[in-house]
Structure 1
């Protein structure tokens, strides 16, 4: 056999059948790899979605708990104890026409209609916003500040004195128009996060007064009370240097709003504040936590609703509507709220690559059952009960 024949026999190629078998085996392997990749990607998205839901819900719960627990704080004695004194030692010089300045109600809820325990609620992929169906009715000042509010979600307003204050080292002016002096080095404590606040409270263990300052001297360390835009009356209580503290007064509203840019609902906060001598304004809504789609609230009231001392037993739970109906004196009704049940429906920011399984447990928050859109987002409900520490009996 010649060398050329041997060479030709060595370079003979594969047959068509062998090629097809090889391609079929390769295709099966590729399909298996794709399936493994798709399953891994789906598992990753589910895990990431659940992690984001848990992270956001934990942050939302912590934020609301800290704020709700401050309700009723008016110095060394809370608003409930001040109101029980014969002279009603909780005072305010502020006008009463704006709900954000009603410091006689440290907490007040607004119940979205048709969201009482036992009611069903259908959520749309793009929720309706700006409705005014609340009980009690949402004040127009709040409605104007929260135009992106999601319909069907409750709202809560909080008013209190900030936890940190500064001692009053001396006083000036007159009894009805005092000047409070403090250590200027502690100005940042008094401001508590705002650069030029104008709403303050002064308190000792006998009384507390909320007011708007007409002037604040950062260098001298003084807060002057005089005629100002939001003041309606003068001081009626005396405060002694060395016994009283100054605090910044806080008025905030929490709600669920829709962000068209991210196409997601979020937990928002609106702060109402005024500069010294200036008009009360609503700050732009602050987005706190993404993915919060609904907030439900129930309020626990003390067993004793009359003007006598509370018992310390919270034995009735109800909506904001029920609290409003419990007493003719609405301020007294809200002052007997000692606990809040909070329920949040939270979704993942991105699709979780899985449809909600048929027959899966319904999402229910404080008795409200949700029908959610089939947009493949991970969703979960988180609930907690928050004791208002400034309303605990004996404080």
Structure 2
């Protein structure tokens, strides 16, 4: 083989190698982009599923219509104040509005993002097997088997007239007894102020269930990325998804109780009286991928009525959903 043939072969080989490298690089970039897109969609679906699970049940305290709730808990903490099914705090560069209560104890909460609080009873309810007098001081509540209530749970006895919230001091009058729940004082955290119930509950119409107050907020996650967290009944914070740059909530108002939302307002614009008129919640998330250099230039996206410019070349996506609070639908 002559020198010319060798040179031609080398050039052809280099062209082939360059083509293979370009195909590989393009395929790898395409795969990473598709992977980031899939992660954003999956994170969005998962977050909305968890948020909707609580919001659809918001305000449910054992009956479809509103009932007055009396708390026997020995605390004034925000998460144990039972009045409005949802409340919120709007985040901004200058902090939350209204001011975020210190007792929420949200470690490293991002002041630029909203905080949402949802209160509801568990859908799993158990009937009473004996009547509770209004001034009863008995620590033992007789219920059907399979109630699933454990020591320390925040629970509620309710009918369609009233509801009483307290902390269970035990799940039975004795070992192996699955048909009683204990309501006592002088134990537990926060514990109970009284053994009384403030209302008579008939075994034919009353039931007992767990109660959940869930706080959703954004803070740095384990990976260092901003993440959506939830905290139930003041317990340990749980990271749900990461890559949450923005979390905003608007509240749909139905002041006449006609089953029709007339306007949406942010938490900062809500008056104290308007929280009781919320019947739906609109949630917006701005999510970002984990990899940089996935787009040719930083994205500019419309979020909550304003253009948000990305700080880098990560893939970003805005997703929004509206959830109706079923217990508020007339």
The answer to whether structure 1 residue 388 and structure 2 residue 325 are counterparts is: yes
Deviation for aligned residue 1:106: 2.0
Q: Is the 8 A contact 1:298 1:319 kept in 2?
A: yes
Post-superposition CA distance 1:91-122 (Å, at most 9, x none): 222356210101112211010125xxxxxxxx
**Could you tell me which residue of structure 1 aligns to residue 279 of structure 2?**
338
> Hey, what's the Cα distance between the residues in 2 that align with 1:248 and 1:206?
18
Task: Tell me if 1:225 matches 2:183.
Answer: yes
Aligned to 2:121: 161
Displacement of 1:216 after TM fit? 3.1
Which whole-Å CA distance do the structure 2 matches of 1:299 and 1:201 have between them?
Answer: 26
SS at match of 1:67: helix
Distance in 1 between residues matched to 2:11 and 2:282, nearest whole Å: 61
Give the aligned partner of residue 316 of structure 1: 263
- Alignment partner, residue 223 of structure 2: 262
> Is 1:187 paired with 2:163?
no
1:299 counterpart = 2:251:
yes
1:369–1:149 Cα change, 3 Å: farther
| Superposition deviation, residue 258 in structure 1 | 1.3
**Matches of 1:133 and 1:312, distance apart in 2:** 33
List runs of 5+ in structure 2 lacking aligned partners: none
Alignment of 1:233-244 (within 5 A): 234-244=196-206
Rounded to whole Å, the distance in 2 between the matches of 1:57 and 1:290 is 10
Report the Cα distance in structure 2 between the residues aligned to 1:24 and 1:336, rounded to whole angstroms: 75
Alpha-carbon distance in 1 for matches of 2:182, 2:83: 23
Alignment partner of 1:27 out of 10, 14, 21: 14
Q: Distance in 2 between matches of 1:25 and 1:196?
A: 77
Q: Secondary structure at the match of 1:314?
A: coil
Give the SS at the match of 2:308: strand
Structure 1 residues 349, 336: CA separation in 2 closer, same or farther (over 3 Å shift)? Answer: same
Q: CA deviation at 1:356?
A: 4.6
Q: Which residue matches 1:350?
A: 291
What is aligned with 2:305? 367
Match of 2:39 in 1: 52
Q: Give unmatched runs, 5+ long, in structure 1.
A: 1-13, 83-88, 115-131, 273-281, 305-309
Q: How far is the alpha carbon of 1:248 from its aligned partner?
A: 0.5
TM-superposition CA deviations, 1:184-207 (whole Å, max 9, x none): 3x033xx3xxx5343110111222
State the shift of 1:36 in Å: 1.1
Kindly report which structure 2 residues correspond to 1:40-79, keeping only aligned pairs within 5 A, or say none.
40-78=27-65
- What's the offset of the Cα at 1:162? 0.9
* Equivalences for residues 55-204 of structure 1 within 5 A: 55-78=42-65, 81-82=66-67, 89-95=68-74, 97-113=76-92, 133-142=95-104, 144=105, 146-171=106-131, 175-178=135-138, 179-184=140-145, 186-188=146-148, 191=149, 196-204=151-159
Shift in alpha-carbon separation, 1:187–1:31, aligned structure 2, 3 A: same
Other structure's SS at 1:355 match: coil
Question: 2-side partners of 1:73 and 1:172: how far apart?
Answer: 21
1:324-359 Cα deviation digits (max 9, x unpaired)? x2xxxx3x43121111110011122334x433547x
* Matched residues, number: 322
Alpha-carbon spacing, 1:297–1:368, altered in 2? closer, same or farther (3 Å)? farther
Compute the TM-score of the two structures, normalised by the length of structure 2.
0.89
CA RMSD in angstroms comes to 2.2
Partner secondary structure for residue 112 of structure 1: coil
Question: Contact between 2:114 and 2:247, CA under 8 Å: does it hold in 1?
Answer: yes
Aligned-partner Cα distance in 2 for 1:172–1:297? 40
Asked if 2 retains the 8 angstrom alpha-carbon contact of 1:348 and 1:378, the reply is yes
